Amino acid sequence: MIDVRLITSLHATTVKLWHHQPVQNMHRDFLYLVCEQHKFNFMLWHEEDRARSRDASDSEIASVKRAIDGYNQKRNDAIERLDDALKQLLEDRGITPNPGAKHNSETPGGIIDRLSILALRIFHMQEQADRIDASPEHTSKALSRLDVLYNQHDDLATALAELFNDLRAGRKRLKLYRQMKMYNDPTLNPHLYKRAELSHAA
């Protein structure tokens, strides 16, 4: 199906590039979807950093919170598009699950999302390990955490590769899940639809 190494390499490479160049998606096909999903995690990560700034004003925090909600919605939508594309890929290749094949507790899109976040954590933890103004204790702690992050990343990448192999062989079925995020939907978030009702009443 998809070479997991292409996904993890894309994550690591773009995290480095986007810290020095505009955020762009130069990929095609399935990797385009991977990069789009990763892009929203990248934007979300840095908005969350801004939200935690002690110097941010109330209005700035409110603006950042709205941006976080927007990126989080786009991130989840992108996870679902990844799973939709993989399901279509299986159907196009005529791959059907074996009788009795079980579904995975986490979809490939969900695992790719977690790998994306780990790539961001690894990049920023490496920044901490490389700080020349930090104490030896800080550097040691950052390096220790990097070891854990790399181990988690390797395990997760292996799990995704195994899932791809199981799906291709029909040993598992791809069951799609939907996040059903409610906070951005003006018909489902009470604070949004009640405000709209009050506006109409006025």
Cβ proximity of 47 and 71 under 8 Å? yes
- Answer yes or no: pTM beyond 0.75: yes
- At 183 the pLDDT is 55
- At 202 the pLDDT is 55
Instruction: Tell me which amino acid residue 69 is.
Output: D
- At 77 the pLDDT is 94
SS (H, E, C) 121-148: HHHHHHHHHCCCCCCHHHHHHHHHHHHH
- At 1 the pLDDT is 74
Q: How far is CA 76 from CA 138, 175, 179, in A?
A: 34, 16, 7
- At 18 the pLDDT is 96
Q: Write out the E strands in the chain.
A: 102-103, 172-173
Using CA atoms, how far apart are residues 11 and 119, in angstroms rounded to an integer?
6
Per-domain residue ranges of the chain: 4-201
Cβ proximity of 172 and 166 under 8 Å? yes
- At 192 the pLDDT is 46
Q: Which residues in the chain land under pLDDT 50? A: 188-189, 192-193
- At 48 the pLDDT is 77
